Amino acid sequence: MATQIVQPSTQQKTPAGFTLYTAENAPEASRDTLKSIQKMFGGALPNLFAVLAGSPALLAANMATMQQLSHISLSEVEKRIVDLAVSHQNTCDYCVAAHTFLSRSLPQNPIEAVGSGRSIADPKLESLRNFAVEMVKTSGRPDAATKANFSQVLQLRTVSGSHSAPDCQEPAELYQQSGRDAH
């Protein structure tokens, strides 16, 4: 069965031309998911999800991946350190902003440090940050010494998070939706 992609002409678009959907005008199969995402982001809808909503299958796949990654045996701080280190290394200001927002209930010193590319005082978290950066720099192929210090599960989790959002170089426009800034 083909996925229906609705492209209304009056919709907002990203600079690259991707349509930005809302929970009200997205394809029916995306609407409930978008509402859940808005709750997760305190009422805001990050544009990554607003764009993916045009394809209910892609939106569902993204959410399923996020759900499965949440089960990996890292603490919430460690997960965000990996996400932020990957986002910073990819120079995705949009992703850094989104992951920082999702980290608002966590200790802010390591979050702020990794989000700005600085070292973390905690040696364990700094080692994790360095590992995530190395995984991005080497496209998931770190040297044997680096690889030996981290499990295959963590290596795969880091690689799975090393993607970029559509238009991630336009962070303000991507994170704003209908005039609301989610920072």
Domain residues for the domain of 121 are 76-160
Residues in CB range of 156: below 8 A, 6 or more apart: none
Asked if 80 contacts 99 with a C-beta cutoff of 8 angstroms, the reply is yes
User: Strand pairing partners for 12?
Assistant: 20
- Which band of pLDDT confidence, cut at 50, 70 and 90, is reported for residue 60? very high
Write out pLDDT tens, residues 114-124: 999 999 999 98
Do both 81 and 156 map to the same domain?
yes
Write out pLDDT tens, residues 134-180: 888 888 788 887 777 777 667 666 666 555 444 444 434 434 433 33
Q: How many domains does the chain have?
A: 2
Q: How far apart are CA 58 and CA 52, in angstroms?
A: 6
Asked if 173 contacts 161 with a C-beta cutoff of 8 angstroms, the reply is no
Element holding 39 (H helix, E strand)? helix 28-40
**Tokens 């030996």 found at:** 148
Do both 65 and 96 map to the same domain?
no
Q: How far apart are CA 84 and CA 44, in angstroms?
A: 20
- For 151: left if phi > 0, alpha if psi spans -120 to 50, otherwise beta; the answer is beta
Would 33 be classed as within a structural domain? yes
Would 88 be classed as within a structural domain? yes
Do both 149 and 90 map to the same domain?
yes
Domain with residue 103: its CATH number is 1.20.1290.10
